[in-house]
């Protein structure tokens, strides 16, 4: 596996490279942006803003206080990874542990009209969404939504109260997965660009692999359940996962190419050479407290890659909360155990920041850390 394969992380995260349950059929032409069907959401919410690039979904139980915003990845699959099923919903977990004003950024599947969209297009749309909410907000970036959130926090530091990066690749030279990319990337890029008319079609990405996904491997690794036939809600969670697994997003070719070259190949974000909406930014421009969540068996964004963000952002150790879960990649967002253990602690950390702000303290002067304290000089790990 190499880091280019993060575009296909649902397979590599839970089954070591197996493709979807069935071979994908060739995609038909896409005439407009597509979003997740309303019936797929587990938690009741409402769309408060719709742009060509995104929908802003409001799951709030309160209309007052600082908001938290989940930034889902704009990759092969959609935003349901954050709200898959009861006990497998990050949205519900955050709501239940005090994040009562909660929004989610849902990216639109690309169309011919959006084929020229770039990373800047995503940043601009995210900026409009955050302005719609009213800042500062706490930003929670999941997987590739993590590096986008980090770029945003560096570009617009006054907009962000606290930043959470979960399973987020930031420094692509910090892990063993940063090896051979050249020939593989060139071949992959040409294969998926062919015939797409400026759109990288999710169905075409699926068709690059054959075989059947291992049902139990999905259940055990992604959902963290051992027997879906016997465990409460297990069958529903597995069914929802398989529907999500088969449903793909199309991506703008310009955006896809930028991510592969600027981030994965040239590592510009980690090197402080990333241009974001007309400004060169670096991770050390982030001026808020940062929480980092990694999975110890994550093959997509290994712990060393995720925790490298603390070194790149810099500052006092008290500025960071670092947690390492007994988890593979997808389980960071939908695993029953990870949601029950790691995310409540992150929610408490977010709420502590809001209490500090109300008391007029400087951000980051007090953080919630596990009782066993910092390890390896990286802050605190659980």
Considering only residues 7 and 378, tell me which one the structure prediction assigns the higher pLDDT: 7
* Average pLDDT rounded to a whole number, residues 214-233: 85
* Average pLDDT rounded to a whole number, residues 67-77: 94
Q: Any idea which residue has 């995609």 for tokens?
A: 27
Q: Omega into 136 within 30° of 0, i.e. cis?
A: yes
Q: How far apart are CA 10 and CA 214, in angstroms?
A: 12
Considering only residues 29 and 171, tell me which one the structure prediction assigns the higher pLDDT: 171
CA distances from 261 to 218, 233, 264 (A): 30, 41, 6
- Name, in order, each residue with C-beta under 8 angstroms of 232's C-beta and a sequence gap of 6 or more: none
Residues of the chain with pLDDT > 90, as a percent, come to 59
Considering only residues 183 and 63, tell me which one the structure prediction assigns the higher pLDDT: 63
Considering only residues 11 and 184, tell me which one the structure prediction assigns the higher pLDDT: 184
* Average pLDDT rounded to a whole number, residues 333-340: 98
Q: Which range among 165-179, 215-229, 351-365 shows the weakest confidence by mean pLDDT? A: 351-365
| Residue 203 in this model has a pLDDT that exceeds 80 | no
Average pLDDT along the chain? 82
Q: How far apart are CA 365 and CA 375, in angstroms?
A: 19
Model confidence band, residue 194 (pLDDT cutoffs 50, 70, 90) = low
The three-point CA angle 222-163-98 to 5° equals 75
Model confidence band, residue 374 (pLDDT cutoffs 50, 70, 90) = very low
- Name, in order, each residue with C-beta under 8 angstroms of 154's C-beta and a sequence gap of 6 or more: 276, 281, 282, 283, 285, 286
Alpha-carbon radius of gyration of the chain: 19
Model confidence band, residue 186 (pLDDT cutoffs 50, 70, 90) = low
Please report the pLDDT score of residue 32 as a whole number. Answer: 56
Please report the pLDDT score of residue 43 as a whole number. Answer: 98
Q: How far apart are CA 321 and CA 362, in angstroms?
A: 16
Run of H or E residues at 294: strand 290-295
| Residue 358 in this model has a pLDDT that exceeds 80 | no
Considering only residues 247 and 165, tell me which one the structure prediction assigns the higher pLDDT: 165
Please report the pLDDT score of residue 299 as a whole number. Answer: 85
Helix/strand/coil for 50: strand
* Average pLDDT rounded to a whole number, residues 229-238: 91
What is the token pair recorded at 253?
A: 């070719």
Q: How far apart are CA 325 and CA 296, in angstroms?
A: 6
Helix/strand/coil percentages in the chain, nearest 5: 40, 15, 45
| Residue 204 in this model has a pLDDT that exceeds 90 | no
CA distances from 356 to 154, 291, 359 (A): 22, 16, 5
* pLDDT tens per residue across span 113-161: 899 999 999 999 999 999 999 989 999 999 999 999 999 999 999 999 9
| Residue 212 in this model has a pLDDT that exceeds 70 | no
Q: How far apart are CA 43 and CA 70, in angstroms?
A: 14
* pLDDT tens per residue across span 238-294: 999 989 988 889 999 999 889 988 998 899 999 999 999 999 999 999 999 999 999
Please report the pLDDT score of residue 180 as a whole number. Answer: 43
Please report the pLDDT score of residue 382 as a whole number. Answer: 37
Model confidence band, residue 47 (pLDDT cutoffs 50, 70, 90) = very high
Q: How far apart are CA 287 and CA 279, in angstroms?
A: 16
**139 and 164 in contact (C-beta within 8 Å)?**
yes
DSSP state, residue 360: T
């Amino acid at each position: 596996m190499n880091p280019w394969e993060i575009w296909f992380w649902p397979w590599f995260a839970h089954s070591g490279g197996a493709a979807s349950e069935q071979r994908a059929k060739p995609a038909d032409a896409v005439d407009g942006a597509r979003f997740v069907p309303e019936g797929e959401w587990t938690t009741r919410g409402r769309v408060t803003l719709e742009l060509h690039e995104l929908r802003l979904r409001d799951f709030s139980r309160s209309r007052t206080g600082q908001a938290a915003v989940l930034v889902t990845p704009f990759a092969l699959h959609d935003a349901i990874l954050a709200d898959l099923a009861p006990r497998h919903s990050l949205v519900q977990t955050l709501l239940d542990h005090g994040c009562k004003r909660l929004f989610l950024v849902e990216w639109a599947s690309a169309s011919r009209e959006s084929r020229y969209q770039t990373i800047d297009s995503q940043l601009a749309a995210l900026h409009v969404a955050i302005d719609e909410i009213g800042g500062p907000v706490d930003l929670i970036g999941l997987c590739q939504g993590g590096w986008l959130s980090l770029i945003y926090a560096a570009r617009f530091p006054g907009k962000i109260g606290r930043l959470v990066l979960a399973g987020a690749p930031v420094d692509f030279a910090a892990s063993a997965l940063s090896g051979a990319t050249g020939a593989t990337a060139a071949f992959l890029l040409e294969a998926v660009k062919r015939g797409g008319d400026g759109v990288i079609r999710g169905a075409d990405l699926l068709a690059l692999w054959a075989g059947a996904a291992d049902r139990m491997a999905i259940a055990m690794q992604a959902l963290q359940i051992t027997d879906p036939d016997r465990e409460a809600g297990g069958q529903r969670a597995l069914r929802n996962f398989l529907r999500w697994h088969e449903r793909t997003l199309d991506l703008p070719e310009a955006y896809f190419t930028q991510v592969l070259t600027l981030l994965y190949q040239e590592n510009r974000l980690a090197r402080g050479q990333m241009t974001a909406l007309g400004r060169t930014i670096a991770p050390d421009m982030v001026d808020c407290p940062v929480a980092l969540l990694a999975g110890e068996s994550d093959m997509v964004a290994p712990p060393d890659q995720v925790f490298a963000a603390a070194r790149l952002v810099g500052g006092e150790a008290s500025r960071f909360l670092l947690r390492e879960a007994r988890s593979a990649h997808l389980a960071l967002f939908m695993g029953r155990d990870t949601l029950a253990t790691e995310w409540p602690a992150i929610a408490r950390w977010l709420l502590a920041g809001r209490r500090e702000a109300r008391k007029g303290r400087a951000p980051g002067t007090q953080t919630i850390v596990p009782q066993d304290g910092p390890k390896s000089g990286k802050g605190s790990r659980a």
